[in-house]
Amino acid sequence: MKDRAGNITKLAEMAQVAMVNGLEKRKIELEMEKTSLLDMSPDNRYSLKPGADFKADNWVNDYQHVNVELINIEIELKVAQATNLDLFSDGPEETAD
């Protein structure tokens, strides 16, 4: 019975860590996407028309969507990290905010 309980605890902790890792990965991807949206340089070195196909409405909507998603992921990540501490730490620990 002790082994079973230990395995259940390990599986739960691994699932929580995987959730945190997934959220951290998504946050990095969104930060890269945001940086990419700000890159207005020409597609190639021969182009004389930087931004010729630029559609302001689409760009603003995309940038807004990425920012909102990034804020939501940051909140989810903080909650997941706090949950990890609540469930799997040995004692009370302070988190740096």
**What's the rounded Cα separation, in Å, for the pair 92 and 69?**
31
Q: Convert 76-93 to b/e letters by CB count within 10 Å (16 or more is b).
A: bbeebbeeeeeeeeeeee
**What's the rounded Cα separation, in Å, for the pair 41 and 52?**
11
Please enumerate in sequence order all residues whose Cβ is within 8 A of that of 12, keeping only pairs 6 or more positions apart, or say none. Answer: 87, 88
- Percent of the chain with pLDDT strictly greater than 70: 81
Q: What is the length of the chain?
A: 97
Average pLDDT over residues 72-96: 87
Averaged pLDDT score across all residues of the chain = 88
Please state the domain extents for the chain.
Answer: 2-39+49-88
Q: How many CA atoms lie within 13 A of 11 on its CB side?
A: 6
- Percent of the chain with pLDDT strictly greater than 90: 68
Look at residue 43 and tell me whether its pLDDT is greater than 80. no
Which pLDDT band holds residue 53 (cuts at 50, 70, 90)?
Answer: confident
